[in-house]
Chains A and B, each alone.
Chain A
């Protein structure tokens, strides 16, 4: 893609950026800092616990707590999977308790606001309600009197902004959600599940929820598109819900017989690394077996090499 010898390689640039917008700006000024970042290792937490909330808390704690990712005063977008008109037991959407636990940690770390949304596949109202996420988030906000800071809302067409994606593999520009583009930090909270086209869906795939337009069309070159979107909108932290996992008939599922209990959660500042570990631990898949993880790795989006990943278990 970029000819060799360029001092400003994208791979290095993005590795160094690590998702923080402030850091991006700073590192652009000091190219030397980028080279130093190469060969770095990244932590991926793998947590087991009885409840979804405990799993989420433990996974983030293993990485040093939410304070390592969210700073005081940050505007945070929390992006769960609310794609389908399914109940939590059917495991097509992120578990509501899991979402609330992550939101709570963001608020505790001093986030100014935490916005929760997803662009759904079924009717948005039905998805928000039947996933249990709307109720859980609103109940938590009410109970703790944080209704101003923690909000769950529906995606609106008018808030999509045409964004250009430099050096895109497939989509040079696309409509992306303004709130995600403007957020200080994005916390990606996918559920791990089987996916008919992508193989599996984890953190990388979950970011499709900030895309507008005819998303069906990106399925023609799904892997490249996912790499493009994730490079354009880097996330600060990915926390994967792998408590109940849809192992067949994903992404929408519906049959409880297709749901298997794993009781796990994975987290990392590097979405690719998080996906690699979850793919291996839950689905027994190597990075190369999953098209979009492979493509993300190739495009230098994050760390996918197992040698560079330090697994922190708890």
Chain B
């Protein structure tokens, strides 16, 4: 009876490889339009879809695939966590390798599994009142964000260091390493080394999820994952459920000890169908082959150990939290460096929908989109802003709008994108070289991409530091034409702070204030 378990493992591998494939192809590949939905996984996620819909007060057409997962879950039960979820696959892989020989002491109390439900109610209530916090706990968002911001850049760095080392070696080594490098470069490595703010902390949080496996298998999925909680509630009455042909069962208890979710409790014939992720391990290990998964009713499921008090408290807390975030002063005086991607919705709707998955940052061709710390308040953590000193918004590029899974960044046609203003540039005349009489420069004007240049120069006389007069080409910003793409700030040759800078002033979308 091991075939279904093999199938499940195969499914996990195939889905994970598809996930990695889509991740690697969330990139400009010589084509202005990404040919397929690289953001598929986020759009399959009912938790994220629900939260964005609830908080954003809008039906989001993009997330229709989540409905399929929801329907399948109602019919099949919580199969997603065992067969599909790429984070679940990573956790299982960690179990099978790093934690293979770990003896788990000090069992985690069974009652902890209720926290994922409480978290779910907390998040649902706050989403209902427009505060969308789901990104912090949604497994798909966590995985893509971690890969984008942290793991992939780090792996890219290490591989580059290794191959650069080989490349500089004398003798035949480069002859061997360079073809391998070329292959990796065209299929796997980043075009240029990406860098991200918050990368270390994002990586550490992810390590925390894996490290919890030391204490319990699938610790995250059992106790914390709110998507798991949602699917558990949806799938409790699914048709596909574990049951035991009791006649042959010897009560050996092997199924109970092998269950990665702790879904078999007390009596081995009793299954918590909400917790069971249908991994089929119990069926595979059963020496008597009496465990079946079928549409027929098994024993009544174990009750979810949720108290009414707990549910109400979590929901109330979720609702009560909202105004505390909405009186943060950034709502009244937003950070001037909070420059959103082109096509971003007004701030309130934007934050309600943004899944913080990092797809836009991953695809941003100049590495300009970066996760925030607190520029948009704690509520806006890890949402994307353009940090022009790191990278700029490429004038003819519309990729971020193409990958956003919830439409927080609208998909703009190129002509509209070119007119979308992210902010405005200004010249710091106290530092700009021609303005202070140091030297000619005009690099900003040279790079300005608008077709009638938004940065123009005028030849003017300036008093130099030594007292004489000299003529320089001095940059001026035409605010009618500037779109705030930030290439001037990126390319400004001053080594530290640029002398031409972009702020969010004049951005095309209206800046949301406080709650709507």
Contact = CB atoms under 8 A, between A and B. Distances in A.
A199 to B, nearest CB: 11
Given A85-B395, A196-B457, A219 B441 contact: yes
Contacts of A122: 394-395, 449
Interface string B227-247: 000000000000000000000
A261 interface: no
Given A126-B394, A197-B442, A252 B449 contact: yes
B224 to A, nearest CB: 39
Interface residues of B, number: 33
Contacts of A99: none
Interface string B393-408: 0111100000000000
The listed residue with most A CB atoms (<10 A of its CB), out of B191, B445, B447, is B447
A128 B441 CA distance: 26
A123 B493 CA distance: 17
A126 B191 contact: no
A217 B496 CA distance: 12
B30 A219 contact: no
A123 B473 CA distance: 27
Contacts of A197: 440-443, 445-446, 473
Interface residues of A, number: 30
B48 interface: no
B453 A220 contact: no
A96 interface: no
Contacts of A253: 451
Contact of B30 (A125, A252, A255): A125
A158 interface: yes
Contacts of A154: 191
B445 A254 contact: no
Contacts of B447: 121, 252
Contact of A130 (B396, B449, B491): B396
B443 A219 contact: yes
Given A85-B396, A249-B452, A126 B493 contact: no
A129 interface: yes
Contacts of B28: 123, 125-126
Interface in A105-151: 121-126, 128-130, 134
Contact of B453 (A121, A125, A249): A249
A222 interface: yes
Interface of B: 28, 30, 164, 167, 191, 365-366, 394-397, 433, 438-443, 445-453, 457, 473, 491-493, 495
15 contacts: A122-B395, A123-B366, A124-B191, A125-B365, A126-B28, A126-B396, A134-B30, A196-B445, A197-B443, A214-B495, A220-B433, A220-B438, A220-B493, A222-B440, A255-B451
